[in-house]
Amino acid sequence: MASSPEIKITVCGKTDVGQLREHNEDNFLVVDFARVEKPSPEIALDFSLGEQGALFLVCDGMGGAAAGEVASTMAVESISSAVASAGPPTRERFARRLRRAIEDANELIFAQSRDNQSERGMGTTCTAVGLVDATLLIGQIGDSRCYVMRGGRLSQATKDQSLAWQLIEAGAMTQEEAKGFEHANIILQALGVQEKVEVVLSQVSLRRGDMILVCSDGLHGPVSDDEIKQILLDEPDVKKACDRLIACANAHEGPDNITVVLARFDGEGLPEPVAEDNVGFLAYDPGQDPEDPEPTRRLSSTEHATGETTVSDELRATASELPEAAQETASSFAEKASAPTQSIPEARSVLAFVLVTLLAALAGALFLVSQRATIPDRNFGGSSPLSRSTLASPSAAVAAAPQMQAAPTPSADAGREP
C-alpha cells in the first residue's frame, strides 16, 4: 500500500521563570510517538508525522510553593502517557483519547490535592495540541492559548476559559482593556481544582507553511498579538523565535512564568494556503467511542471557577461595588458558581443567562450615568461625560454609578433640554 504524503514538523519548546516569580510552575512537552526514546522537554525535534501521531503540551501550574509545579508535571506525564497508548488511531479516536486523558489527569491531580495538605488547592491549565493527519486537534482547560500563523496573519485558535474572555465576547471590554482588568486572574476551569472538568475540543485544518504557537499567559499576557506576530514574521527559525518571544515577555517585566512551544508544518501532505482560509476557534466533536462509552459528565458541588480566588468569592467581594440593579444578579451568579450538581448544558445555560443579565444591568447603569453626565447641570456648571479610561475596568465604571447618582438632583426645569 502506498504511504501517505509526508507531513514535516519542526518544533521547539522552551520555558522561563520570568522576572518576578521565584520558581517555575509551568511545564511543557513535545512528543513524536514514533520515536523509541522517552520524550524529553529539552530537545527540539525535526521529524515526519508517523501513524502514531504527535503531541505538544503546555501546562501553567498554580497553587504556590511547589504545588503548581507538581500539578503541571502530573498533567504533562499523565496525558502524554495516556495518549501514547497502543495502536495507530483515527482522528476521532485520537481526539477521544486526548479528551479522556485530560479528564483522567484532572482526577489524578484532584485526588492528590485532596489527600496532601501541602498540595491542597493546586491546579494547572492545559492546552494539548495533537495530530495524526492534516488536522490539528486541540484540547483545552484554562487560559493557555494556541495561535496559528498563516499568510502573515496571526489568529487565536482557542478561547480563554476566563471571566475576562466572557466579558470580551459579550462586548463589555476589548482584549487590550482586559489586560488591565482587575479580575483578569480568574479562570473558569483548571485541572485538579474541581472533581470533573469539561474539555473543550477544537480543530484547525493545517496548510503548508503554518506555524503553531502554544503558550502560557506568561507570554500572551504582557506581550501583544501584534508583537508576537512580528517576531514570527522576522524569525523563521523556530528555536530562535522561541528565544525572542521569551525575551520579549521578560522585556515587559516578565510578570509570570513564560512557556512557548512553536511548530512549523510543511510537506506534500498539506495543501497550499488560499486566500479564503479563515483560522479561528472551530469546535470539534469526535463523538463517543462505541467500545468505551463515556458517561454523561456532570458538574460536582466543588466545580466552580478558579484563580487566585474563586469566581463566587470575587463576585461576593465586589458585589457591593455594583449598582443596586446589578447586585442581586452578581450575588445570584456567585451562588450558581458553587451550587450543587447540575448537568453541563444546564450549567452553560445558567452561566450564559446570568452573564447576559449582569451585563445588561451594567449597561443600563452606564447609560443612565452617561445621560446624567451629558445633560447640562446648571447647579454644577455643565457636563462631564464618562471617559473611555473609566470603562477599561467595568467594576470601576459601575462603582462610579452610585456615587454620581447620589449627587444633588437639579430641578425638573433646570435639567430639561431646551
Give 355's pLDDT tier (boundaries 50, 70, 90): low
Q: How many whole angstroms separate alpha carbon 239 and alpha carbon 263?
A: 9
Q: What is the pLDDT of residue 87?
A: 67
Q: What confidence tens digit (pLDDT) does each residue in 126-168 have?
A: 999 999 999 999 999 999 999 999 999 999 999 999 999 999 9
Q: Which residue has the higher pLDDT, 163 or 181?
A: 163
Q: Flag whether pLDDT at 379 surpasses 50.
A: no
Q: What confidence tens digit (pLDDT) does each residue in 30-59 have?
A: 999 988 666 666 678 999 999 999 999 999
Domain containing residue 80: 8-299
Q: Flag whether pLDDT at 299 surpasses 50.
A: no
Q: 1 in a domain, yes or no?
A: no
Q: What is the pLDDT of residue 288?
A: 83
Q: How many whole angstroms separate alpha carbon 176 and alpha carbon 128?
A: 26
Q: 359 in a domain, yes or no?
A: yes
Q: Which of 209-223, 241-255, 315-329 has the lowest mean pLDDT?
A: 315-329
Q: How many whole angstroms separate alpha carbon 333 and alpha carbon 347?
A: 11
Do 294 and 342 sit in the same domain of this protein?
A: no
Q: How many whole angstroms separate alpha carbon 97 and alpha carbon 85?
A: 9
Do 363 and 216 sit in the same domain of this protein?
A: no
Give 236's pLDDT tier (boundaries 50, 70, 90): very high
Amino acid at 342: Q
Do 315 and 387 sit in the same domain of this protein?
A: yes
Q: What confidence tens digit (pLDDT) does each residue in 270-292 have?
A: 999 988 888 999 999 999 876 65
**Domain closes at, from 271, 299, 327:** 299
Q: What is the pLDDT of residue 37?
A: 64
Q: What is the pLDDT of residue 181?
A: 82
Mean pLDDT throughout 198-202? 97
Give 362's pLDDT tier (boundaries 50, 70, 90): low
* pLDDT, mean over the chain: 76
Q: What confidence tens digit (pLDDT) does each residue in 67-82 have?
A: 899 999 999 999 999 9
Do 186 and 316 sit in the same domain of this protein?
A: no
Do 151 and 279 sit in the same domain of this protein?
A: yes
Is residue 84 a contact partner of residue 132, using CB atoms and an 8 Å limit? no
Instruction: Write down the pTM of the prediction.
Output: 0.72
Q: Which residue has the higher pLDDT, 311 or 262?
A: 262
Do 350 and 400 sit in the same domain of this protein?
A: yes
Q: What is the pLDDT of residue 40?
A: 63
Give 378's pLDDT tier (boundaries 50, 70, 90): very low
Do 221 and 281 sit in the same domain of this protein?
A: yes
Q: Flag whether pLDDT at 324 surpasses 60.
A: no
Q: Flag whether pLDDT at 266 surpasses 60.
A: yes
Do 181 and 317 sit in the same domain of this protein?
A: no
- Closest among 220, 309, 260 to 11, alpha carbons compared: 260
Quote the number of domains for the chain: 2
